[in-house]
């Protein structure tokens, strides 16, 4: 671990006040994490463990109840274009075309400051090319498939040139087959083949363990109620990640290890007992 992590979370916790439905809850407690520049870190955990809450705090959309979050040594106080976010449901403006959506931050936000309209248009075109959406520039989100919308959201994220990419289950709304394809695409677009120092730092939330192992340099396993870091696992698989890696023994070991860590929590999350409680006897009809 370097001495100057890109992101440093120290003892971060998040408490939510009582609502009509629940009492006060601690969603995240004592969460600490250092992320180096150019690292791709995946966070996995059972449903409701607070992964998205952590992401929201790094993004500055939510304030931490305790602890500190720093980027390049500066405390984070609010959202900004230096930390781009990709939401699970993409959050595309329905009234704008693909082009307009990708250029939204450039047009009205901070990333585009100092750029001429021509420069902005070129940048939009570059990213449309990068994510492979040529020909769909004038389409509206409701005319696109889920996979295409995801790519628009990704292009918008990258076009704004953030230093850190925060991705909240970006592939969650897609079917399994599209997801596998887009995982490879995502790595390519992220710049897997570049040198570490030229890559963007990325935090990727997912509940899909295989996805996390396939994509990440590290996988943080979270426990729930309250959410904290249960394990920090280095993924020593070679880059660029190939499809065949999914079949490799090492891949299997890593996913197995992570699943073992999560399993009990996952059972609890769906309201059942632990695997030890489930009946093992055959039921004769």
Interface residue with another protein, options 3, 19, 75, 135 (CB under 8 A): 19
Site for another protein in 103-142 (CB under 8 A): 104-105, 108-111, 140-142
Smallest gap from Cβ 208 to another protein, in A, equals 21
Interface residue with another protein, options 26, 38, 70, 81 (CB under 8 A): 81
Smallest gap from Cβ 105 to another protein, in A, equals 3
184 binds another protein (CB under 8 A): no
Interface residue with another protein, options 23, 73, 94, 271 (CB under 8 A): 94
Site for another protein in 59-78 (CB under 8 A): 59-61, 78
Query: What is the Cβ-side half-sphere exposure of residue 134, based on CA atoms within 13 angstroms?
Result: 4
CB 77 within 8 A of CB 60: yes
Smallest gap from Cβ 206 to another protein, in A, equals 18
DSSP 113: T
Interface residue with another protein, options 95, 117, 122, 138 (CB under 8 A): 95
* Contact stretch for another protein (CB under 8 A) within 5-13, 57-65, 68-76, 177-185: 57-65
Q: The dihedral of CA 41, 46, 47, 50: what is its sign?
A: negative
Smallest gap from Cβ 111 to another protein, in A, equals 7
CB nearer another protein, residue 49 or residue 106:
106
Number of residues that bind another protein (CB under 8 A): 28
CB 65 within 8 A of CB 15: yes
243 binds another protein (CB under 8 A): no
170 binds another protein (CB under 8 A): no
Smallest gap from Cβ 140 to another protein, in A, equals 6
Site for another protein in 204-223 (CB under 8 A): none
226 binds another protein (CB under 8 A): no
80 binds another protein (CB under 8 A): yes
Smallest gap from Cβ 181 to another protein, in A, equals 23
Q: SS3 sequence, the chain? A: CCCCCCEEEEEEEEEECCCCCCCCEEEEEEEEEEECCCCEEEEECCCCCCHHHHHHHHHCCCCCCEEEEEECCEECCCCCCCEEEECCCCCCCCCCCHHHHHCHHHHHCCCCCCCCHHHHHHHHHHHHHHHCCCCCCCCCHHHCCHHHHHHHHHHHHHHCCCCEEEEECCCCCCCHHHHHHHHHHHHHHHCCCCCHHHCCEEEEECCCHHHHHHHCCEEEEEECCCEEEEEEEECCCCCCCCHHHHHCHHHHHHHHHHHHHHHHHHHHHCCCCCCCCCCCCCCCC
18 binds another protein (CB under 8 A): no
83 binds another protein (CB under 8 A): yes
Interacting residue ranges for another protein, rule: CB under 8 A:
19-20, 59-61, 78-81, 83-85, 87, 89, 91, 93-95, 104-105, 108-111, 140-142, 160
């Amino acid at each position: 671990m370097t001495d100057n992590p890109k992101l440093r979370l120290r003892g971060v916790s998040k408490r939510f006040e009582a609502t009509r439905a629940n009492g006060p809850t601690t969603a995240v407690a004592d969460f600490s994490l250092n992320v180096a520049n150019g690292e791709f870190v995946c966070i996995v955990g059972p449903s409701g463990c607070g992964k998205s809450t952590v992401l929201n705090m790094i993004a500055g959309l939510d304030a931490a109840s305790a602890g500190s979050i720093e980027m390049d040594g500066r405390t984070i106080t609010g959202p900004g274009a230096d930390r781009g976010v990709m939401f699970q449901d993409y959050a595309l403006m329905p009234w704008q075309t693909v082009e307009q959506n990708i250029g939204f931050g450039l047009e009205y936000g901070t990333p585009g400051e100092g750029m001429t309209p021509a420069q902005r248009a070129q940048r939009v075109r570059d990213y449309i090319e990068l994510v492979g959406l040529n020909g769909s520039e004038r389409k509206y989100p409701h005319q696109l498939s889920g996979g295409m919308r995801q790519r628009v959201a990704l292009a918008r994220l990258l076009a704004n040139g953030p230093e850190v990419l925060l991705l909240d289950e970006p592939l969650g709304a897609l079917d399994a087959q599209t997801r596998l394809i887009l995982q490879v695409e995502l790595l390519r677009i992220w710049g897997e083949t570049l040198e570490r120092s030229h890559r963007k730092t990325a935090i990727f939330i997912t509940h899909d363990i295989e996805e996390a192992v396939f994509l990440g340099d590290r996988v943080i396993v979270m426990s729930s109620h309250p959410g904290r870091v249960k394990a920090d696992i280095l993924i020593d698989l070679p880059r660029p990640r190939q499809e065949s890696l999914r079949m490799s023994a090492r891949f299997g070991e890593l996913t197995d290890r992570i699943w073992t860590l999560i399993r009990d929590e996952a059972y609890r999350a769906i309201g059942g007992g632990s695997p030890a409680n489930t009946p093992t006897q055959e039921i004769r009809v």
